[in-house]
Structures are given as C-alpha cells and as structure tokens.
C-alpha cells in the first residue's frame, strides 16, 4: 500500500517516509515544502515566497531554475543522460575539463570527476597518499588539517574535519590527522592583534606555538602527504574569514617541506569569495583543488578534483598497482557536466564576478553597522558571504557554539518574515545566490536587524 496520497500536504507525507539530514530532534520544525524556485526565491506549497539567503546550502549561484541552465540541461537530456566514465568519454566532460583548466590557478591541468564535495575531498586525500606511494615515499601518509575545518561527511572527509558533534559518534572509524591552528582572528589562538600579529598563528618564521603549521611541518614534515585547507573561508566550522597572508604562507610552507597542498574550494569556488577561486586572493596555486557545489551552479551533484601534471604522471605506468582505483557510478554525469559548462559560459559572457563584488559592498554597508548591537561580537564579510558572530557577552566573547539555541530561534523568526537561513548555532550568515539585487540585500539585512534587536 502506498502510505501517502498526492492530495495530502507534502510535509505530512514526508514525515512518514523521509529521513532528513541533521534534523532528527523531536522538536525540529517540519521541513518546508518547496514546489518552485525562481531567482533568489523559493515558493512553498501554500504559496509563501521565501528568499533563499544561503543558496540552498551554498550551491545556487545564478539563481534557482535559470532559463539558460534549464535549456542546457534539457538539451543534454535529449542527447545522453549518462554513460560509464571508466571506459567512455563524452563532450560535456571534456568541454568542462577544458574550461576548468583554463580558469583554475596555473599549473592545475588534470580533472578527476566524482559526484559531490565529500567525494572530491576523498579523491584528493587518496590521490595524495598514492602519489607518494607510487613515488616510493611510503612514509608520507599523514595529513595536516586546520582547527575549525569541515571537509564533508564521508569517513576520510570527516577525519580531516575538526572534531565536533558531526564527527564524534564515528571516532572509531576516523584516521588520525594532525591539527594546526587556523587564523580565527576574532578568537586569535595566540591572543594577538591582527594589525601587529605578523600571522604568528602560521608559525612560519619564529616559534610561536607547537600547534602552528610551521612547527608541525618542522616536526612531522617527512611523514606528511599533504596539508589540506579551506582557503580564505572556513565554512561549516564557523564562517571564519582569513587574512590572505595566511594562505600565501601555507603555500610557502608546503613548498619548504616538500608536501602537497590541497585546497578544498568546494564552498569557495566559482565566485563565492569575490574571485573565481579563493586561492586567487593570495595568487597561489595548490597542488590539488577540490570543487563541487557551485560547479554545477547548484543544479546537480558533481565533484571535480583538479591536479597538476606532476601528480598525474606519478600514476601513469605499465604497472597496474600504480593505477588510481577510484570511480563512482555517476562519475562525470553528462547532465551535470553540461550544466556546469553552461554556468562557466555565463561567467564568461555576463559580469557575474562584478556582481559578487557589488554584493560584497552591499553586505559591508548593511552588516557593519550591526556591530553596535550588544549581541554582535564580530562582523565578517568576504565576497558574497556576510557573517555575524553572536555572543552573550561582548567582553568575554562568550558564545554558545553550534548548539546555541539562538540558531533555531533565528531560523524560525526569519522564516516567518520570508527569509530562509540556517545559522551555524551562534554564527548567523548570509550567502545568497549572486543574482540578488541591492534592494533585496537591504531587505534581507533589515529582517536580520529587526530580529536581532529582539534578542537584546
């Protein structure tokens, strides 16, 4: 028997059969039934219009249900929906790889496809370890990642992520990763001031703390396969915006100790930080770059791990044991690739990045004045991302972290006003589709301000 019928409301049918990510609290509100999307807006079953203030988990870039992307998808569907990628190739995959290579930082020349952000990271970790193994350097098997890191929900990606309620139940499955300080300036790990710190948290020049990247590499360098970072913006770990100098320093340190640098640009890629890739803020090229989310403009799941020719060459062999044995059923799905190609064309023929930079200005103008509110501890803006870190005491910077009740409360109150956001506990952020207008941005910030003043 089919348990639900189309005449029943979607949320009650859903409640019987669907298991949603991250929302199993008995007190969680029911999921919002969305029937249509257009531009920055989503429309519910009962006709409410919601502004998607966080791009549906950071994926939507040109807006929902964009006519140009819809057309590209339907053209491709009429041609070829899928084909195995271990034995075959197809135009969308090749064209996407060609286009990616032409826009990613210099030196990245090979694209390995998978199907989401976590798998793009898993591929990067596996590539790094096997790269060194194929070169006979079997001792290089460990990774250094940063505090507050989040790299995905699969086992390798969780291992690389900071210990948190997301990963703790799976502790026994995770491999050990060395953890270095992150440049979280508002809560500086070394209690320095940004103007005079000289990026001491990197530990590049003078000994600062045993947990800085510089000192960890000095100590463990020979056993490290790669350093993995979310460049310029650590996302799920608290929307932490970096000084670009930290990123350039990571590159220098990786070069000094001869380890690979992996940039997880799953969140930051495709314009989110105001440049096409976050690595551009420090004019660096990583050895491996992970892409997903905005890669398909938020249309379809697709991952890409982009590497150098040097890494590719280490796998090219007559010896089968050197092969990279990793491939997903939906590797390089043609529908996803075709939409990704069209999205990159849109970057080329309309001024998408100029719009993101304008959005950065609107966010700064709107959010910085909110720093006077007693609940606002820190305001951070980078490209199309605006962040308010909320505290209960500005002097001590006390904040409730991811489990802070303020998150669900803000979500509920903003939703009632027509704004869809998902704060990370006490970190409230906006990350709208790039097509948002100045007026819509101002409206979004007005809703936030009106709700925040009720918290005081």
Interface residue list for ligand PMP (CB under 6 A): 116-118, 121, 150-152, 230, 235-236, 264, 266-267, 292
Cβ-contact 436, 359 below 8 angstroms:
yes
Q: Which of 293, 404, 429, 434 is catalytic?
A: 293
Q: Which of 21, 73, 120, 52 is nearest to 296 (CA)?
A: 73
Question: Among residues 41, 113, 131, 150, which one is catalytic?
Answer: 150
The single residue of 52, 115, 264, 404 carrying the catalytic annotation is 264
- Cβ nearer to ligand PMP, comparing 236 with 451: 236
Nearer to ligand PMP among residue 332 and residue 391 (C-beta): 332
Cα–Cα–Cα angle for 314, 320, 321, nearest 5°?
Answer: 70
CA 75 to CA 93: how far, in whole Å? 15
CA distance 423 to 413: 12
Looking from the CA of 250 toward its CB, the CA atoms found within 13 Å total: 30
**Residue 158 or 253 having the CB closest to ligand PMP:** 158
Catalytic annotation present for 299:
no
Decide if 22 is catalytic. Answer: yes
Whole-angstrom distance, CA of residue 251 vs CA of residue 263: 10
Round to whole Å and give the CA distance between 246 and 231.
9
**Beta strand 224-229 pairing with 260-264:** parallel
264 is known as an active-site residue: yes
Query: Is the CB of 56 or the CB of 248 nearer to ligand PMP?
Result: 56
Nearest residue (beta carbon) to ligand PMP: 117
Quote the least distance from Cβ 176 to ligand PMP, whole Å.
20
Beta strands (DSSP E) in 320-374 are none
Q: DSSP assignment of 251-319, as one string?
A: HHHHHHHT-EEEEE-TTTTTTTTSSSSGGGGGT---SEEEE-GGGGTTSS--EEEEEEHHHHHTT-SS-
Residue 203 or 237 with smaller CB distance to ligand PMP = 237
Active site residue 293: yes
Which secondary structure element, helix H or strand E, spans residue 381, and what is its range? strand 376-382
Residue 115 or 215 with smaller CB distance to ligand PMP: 115
Nearest approach in angstroms of CB 233 to ligand PMP is 8
CA distance linking residue 359 with residue 351, whole number of Å: 13
CA 371 – CA 377 distance, rounded (Å): 7
Q: Which positions are catalytic?
A: 22, 150, 264, 293
């Amino acid at each position: 028997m089919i348990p639900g019928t189309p005449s029943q409301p979607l949320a009650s049918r859903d409640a019987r059969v669907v298991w949603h990510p991250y929302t199993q609290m008995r007190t969680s509100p029911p999921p919002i039934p969305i029937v249509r999307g257009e531009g920055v807006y989503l429309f519910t079953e009962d006709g409410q219009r919601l502004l998607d203030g966080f791009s549906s988990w950071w994926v939507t870039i040109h807006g929902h249900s964009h006519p140009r992307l819809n057309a590209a998808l339907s053209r491709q569907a009429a041609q070829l929906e899928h084909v195995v990628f271990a034995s075959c190739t197809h135009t969308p995959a090749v064209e996407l790889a060609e286009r990616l290579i032409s826009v990613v930082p210099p030196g990245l020349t090979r694209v390995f496809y998978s199907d989401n952000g976590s798998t793009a990271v898993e591929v990067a970790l596996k590539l790094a370890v096997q790269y060194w193994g194929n070169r006979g350097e079997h001792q290089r098997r460990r990774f250094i990642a940063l505090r507050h890191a989040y790299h995905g929900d699969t086992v390798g990606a969780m291992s690389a992520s900071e210990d948190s309620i997301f990963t703790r139940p799976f502790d026994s499955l995770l491999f050990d990763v060395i953890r270095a300080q992150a440049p979280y300036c508002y809560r500086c790990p070394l209690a320095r001031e940004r103007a005079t710190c000289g990026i001491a948290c990197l530990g590049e020049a003078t000994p600062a703390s045993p947990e800085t990247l510089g000192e960890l590499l000095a100590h463990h360098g020979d056993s490290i396969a790669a350093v993995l970072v979310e460049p310029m913006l650590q996302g799920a770990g608290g929307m932490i915006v970096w000084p670009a100098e930290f990123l350039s320093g990571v590159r220098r340190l990786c070069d000094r100790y001869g380890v690979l640098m992996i940039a997880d640009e799953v969140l930051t890629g495709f314009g989110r930080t105001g440049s096409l890739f976050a690595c551009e803020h420090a004019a660096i090229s990583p050895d491996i770059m992970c892409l997903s989310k905005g890669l398909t403009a938020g249309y379809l799941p697709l991952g890409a791990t982009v590497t150098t020719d040097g890494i590719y060459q280490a796998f090219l062999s007559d010896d089968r044991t050197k092969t990279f044995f990793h491939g997903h059923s939906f590797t390089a799905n043609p529908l996803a690739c075709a939409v990704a190609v069209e999205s990159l064309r849109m970057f080329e023929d309309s001024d998408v990045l100029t719009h993101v930079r304008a959005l950065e200005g609107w966010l700064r103008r709107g959010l910085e004045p909110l720093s006077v509110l007693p609940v606002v501890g820190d305001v951070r803006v980078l490209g199309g991302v605006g962040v308010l870190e909320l505290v209960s005491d500005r002097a001590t910077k006390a904040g409730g972290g991811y489990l802070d009740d303020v998150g669900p409360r803000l979500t509920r109150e903003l939703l009632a006003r027509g704004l869809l956001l998902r704060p990370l506990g006490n970190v409230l952020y906006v990350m709208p589709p790039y097509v948002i207008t100045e007026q819509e941005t101002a409206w979004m910030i007005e809703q936030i301000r009106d709700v925040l003043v009720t918290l005081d």
